[in-house]
Structure formats: C-alpha cells, structure tokens
Amino acid sequence: MTRTELQQRIIQKLEAMESNKLAFLDSIIDGLNFYIQPQNFNFVSIKNDREKNNDLIKSLRGMASGSTLRSDEFARMKQEEIDWEDRSQ
C-alpha cells in the first residue's frame, strides 16, 4: 500500500469516527510524537519485543496453561487445604 493510499484509508476512517473517539485518537498521536523519535523508531524491533513478551507470557503460564480448573474451584480447593491444616494443628 502506498503512502497516499494509506492516508486516504485513514482519512475515510476518521470521517466516520465519533468526536469522542477522534479526541482519544488525537491524544494517542500526541503520545506517539512525544515518546517515539522518528530516527530511532524501528518496526522490526517492536515486533521482536512483542514476540519476546508473548514468549514470556506463555512460559509464565507453565504447567497450568492446559488446565481447565476455574479460579473459583481453585480457591475452594485451597480453602479446604487451609481448613484441613488448621484442624491438624
């Protein structure tokens, strides 16, 4: 997609957007201009960082990642363990 085509596509989306969404988008653009220096911006680096973050998240899930145990069920089981330990003392 050429720069002109991309600009036209963005303009079409902006024309259909509600005022509150336009204001939000304006603040995002301001943030981009403030935090990202054009000479240092590297899409490949951002993609690699995103992939590293996804890998980290997957590794943190660990052995429970395939579990179908719901959090309320887990909490109930832990409370039963605590109650059992309290009775054992």
Find all residues with CB under 8 Å of 17, minimum gap 6, and list them. Answer: 25
pLDDT tens string, the chain, 89 residues long: the values are 888 999 999 999 999 988 888 888 888 887 776 666 655 555 556 667 777 777 777 766 665 566 666 777 778 888 988 888 888 77
**Containing domain of residue 26, as a range?**
3-88
| Count of the separate structural domains present in the chain | 1
Going from the C-alpha of 73 to that of each of 14, 30, 46, 62, the distances in angstroms are 46, 45, 38, 19
Q: Global pTM?
A: 0.37
